């Protein structure tokens, strides 16, 4: 039996909570005050996630066919979400490598083009927003934006 998306999330939460409880009990030599609440709340989360998982698996067994159909739907809609999240992750990597000042206009222009903006509005928006962010953060808030690995290495 394939696990539904819901069941997978319950399982992940269950694993994390079990790790927290286990780590608090055996991983570190914490005092009682430090580990009591992580164990207590972690225990409650384990119970809740188990109840949710049990409920989900029970329902899934009842409606195996329907669940398979919904799994297909979930896979399809998830793909779109992950593609766009991939752009965010790419932007994160871009910031790390070339810094905010270059990554922002490049990301704005390419991503808005990817989403269907025409060339000129995408170019104008990316330049305007980049200038606004540079002005607002570097001068307004006195935040020195991260320059990136490449420029740190070059300088």
Partner 1 sequence: MTFHAIFDALGNFANLQMWLVMTAGTVIGLVFGLVPGISGMLALTLMLPFLFFMTPMVALPLIMTVMAIQFQGGAVSAILLNVPGTPGSSATLIDGFPMTQRGEGGRALGAAQTASALANILTAFVALAVIPLILPMIVALRSADMVFVILLGLTFIGVLASGSMIKGLLSGGVGLLISFIGFHPTTGAERFIFGYLYLYDGIPLVPLMLGLFAIPEMVALAATGGNIAESRATINGMADVWQGVRDVFRHKRLVLQSQLIGFLVGALPGVGASPATFIAYGHAKQSSKDPESFGKGNVEGVIAAESANNACESGALLTTLALGIPGSPIMALLLGVMTMHGLIPGPDMLTTNLSLSITLIWVIAISGVLGIAICLPLAPRLSRIAFIPGSLLAPIVLVLALTGAFSYHNRYEDVVVAVIFGLVGMVMRRFDYNRPALLLGFILGAIFEKFFFIALHADGPYFFVRPISLGLILAIVAVIAIGPVKGLMKRVKLARGEVKA
Binding to partner 1 by residue 60, rule CB under 8 A?
no
Query: Any idea which residue has 């570097």 for tokens?
Result: 138
Question: Least separation, in Å, of the C-beta of 35 and partner 1?
Answer: 8
Distance CA 87, CA 81 (A): 10
* Contact flags string 8-27 toward partner 1, x per CB under 8 A: -x---x--xx--x--xx---
Distance CA 145, CA 117 (A): 27
Question: Least separation, in Å, of the C-beta of 155 and partner 1?
Answer: 17
CA 115 to chain CA centroid, Å, is 20
Q: Where do the H-state alpha helices sit in the chain?
A: 5-22, 32-62, 64-114, 119-133, 149-154
Binding to partner 1 by residue 76, rule CB under 8 A?
no
Work out which of 45, 59, 102, 123 binds partner 1, going by CB under 8 A.
45
CA 1 to chain CA centroid, Å, is 28
Binding to partner 1 by residue 115, rule CB under 8 A?
yes
Nearer to partner 1, 1 or 37 (CB): 37
Distance CA 9, CA 53 (A): 9
Long-range Cβ pairs for the range 84-92 (8 Å, 24+): 87/111, 87/114
Q: Which residues bind partner 1 (CB under 8 A)?
A: 5-6, 9, 13, 16-17, 20, 23-24, 28, 30-31, 33-35, 37-38, 41-42, 44-45, 48-49, 51-52, 55, 77-78, 80-81, 83-85, 87-89, 91-92, 95-96, 100, 104, 107-108, 111-112, 115-117, 121-122, 125-126, 129, 133, 137, 141, 143-146
């Amino acid at each position: 039996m394939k696990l539904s998306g819901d069941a997978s999330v319950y399982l992940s939460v269950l694993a994390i909570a079990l790790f927290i409880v286990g780590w608090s009990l055996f991983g570190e030599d914490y005092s009682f005050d430090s580990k009591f609440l992580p164990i207590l709340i972690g225990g409650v989360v384990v119970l809740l996630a188990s109840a949710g998982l049990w409920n989900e698996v029970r329902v899934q067994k009842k409606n195996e066919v329907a669940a398979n159909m919904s799994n297909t739907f979930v896979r399809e809609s998830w793909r779109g979400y992950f593609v766009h999240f991939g752009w965010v992750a790419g932007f994160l990597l871009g910031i790390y490598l070339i810094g905010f000042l270059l990554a922002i206009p490049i990301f704005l222009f390419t991503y808005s083009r990817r989403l269907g903006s025409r060339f000129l509005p995408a170019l104008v928006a990316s330049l305007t927003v980049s200038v606004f962010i540079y002005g607002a953060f570097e001068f307004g808030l006195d935040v020195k934006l991260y320059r990136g690995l490449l420029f740190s290495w070059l300088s």
